[in-house]
Amino acid sequence: MAGVVALCAALLVPVISGCGATAEPSGPGGGRPASSVSPSPSPDRAGGGEGTGDTAAGERAAAAARFARWDLKPLPAAPAPPASPPVRTGGGKVPVISEIPTRDKVVFLTFDDGAEKDPEFVRMMRELKVPFTMFLTDAAIRSDYGYFTPLAALGNGVANHTLTHPNLRTLGAEAQRREICGQQRKLAGTYGATPRLMRPPYGNWNEDTRAAAASCGVEAIVLWRESMQITNMQYQRADRKLRPGDIILAHFRGPSELKGTSMTEMTANLLRHVQEQGFAVARLEDYIGRAR
């Protein structure tokens, strides 16, 4: 973890870049939890559930109980995945996206790097069944590859965030290819599936990045619209509101980076922002790909 933090500090990249300080303006605090690859999508995802009569009521009650254990209210149920993904791949240059073009009132959660490996986060996500995508850096995860296996087994995507977390714009074409292709091989060998998605560290990329990503089998380069800090969210738009299809950036970070706040507390604060604005959370990989 120290190597990744040192990279961020050396480059002096602001928080909105996806790898920077965690200072933020004052805002509402979050409650504490009750206790201190792209696998196939899970059929049981966050929200109130669907069905009729007693079945639907029972599913809503079960969801409310799960979320209440983390001092949260349930999220709306996500719609069924689109039959034709709105972001098409395989048609030339690798697409670079910050949001998904959709009218569905959904957002997409992404967690970067992998330095923090909090067991409570695994329990939280197992209970809440909220989908997300992990953009993993080998330098951050190599101390414990196994931590991410149960998260992937829940149906959460494993995606590429390079081998060593460099600013790719400072590297030549071949060096970029080594960073991206090397991590593709690492993640495929460790988690059993070649990643479809890639995120450049700090959000910095150029046309060499797109070419390297394509040569390594990456289908899309994924940026973001919002960045979660500790209690507050940073917005790129002036209205400071979520919009349908927004991709939200968070990090595997712990108390040393979050001023004493745990990763589960930070994630609970993130989910409160989503719930309060009436959004569901959908699986990013279901909205990106070739038409079915």
pLDDT in tens, 197-226: 999 999 999 999 999 999 999 999 999 999
The answer on pLDDT for 75 being more than 90 is yes
Q: Between 24 and 157, where is the model more confident?
A: 157
**Rounded Cα distance, 243 and 225, in Å:** 9
Helix, strand or coil for residue 256? coil
pLDDT, tens only, 135-148: 999 999 999 999 99
Q: Report CA dihedral (88, 91, 96, 98) to the nearest 10 degrees.
A: -10
Please indicate whether residue 251 is annotated as part of the active site.
Answer: yes
Mean pLDDT, residues 171-178: 98
Q: Is 75 left (phi over 0), alpha (psi -120 to 50) or beta?
A: beta
This prediction's pTM: 0.84
The answer to whether residues 269 and 230 touch, using CB atoms and an 8 Å cutoff, is: yes
Q: Which CATH architecture has domain 2-43+79-287?
A: Alpha-Beta Barrel (3.20)
Cβ-based neighbours of 213, under 8 Å, separated by 6 or more: 94, 180, 198, 221
Percent of the chain scoring above 70 in pLDDT: 81
Domain layout of the chain by residue ranges? 2-43+79-287
**Rounded Cα distance, 180 and 10, in Å:** 21
Please indicate whether residue 165 is annotated as part of the active site.
Answer: no
* Residue in 118, 138, 165, 251 annotated catalytic: 251
* Residue in 104, 112, 118, 286 annotated catalytic: 112
The answer on pLDDT for 52 being more than 90 is no
Q: Is 80 exposed, middle or buried (0-12, 13-18, 19+ CB in 10 A)?
A: exposed
**Strand ranges, E, within 164-238:** 197-198, 220-222, 226-228, 233-235
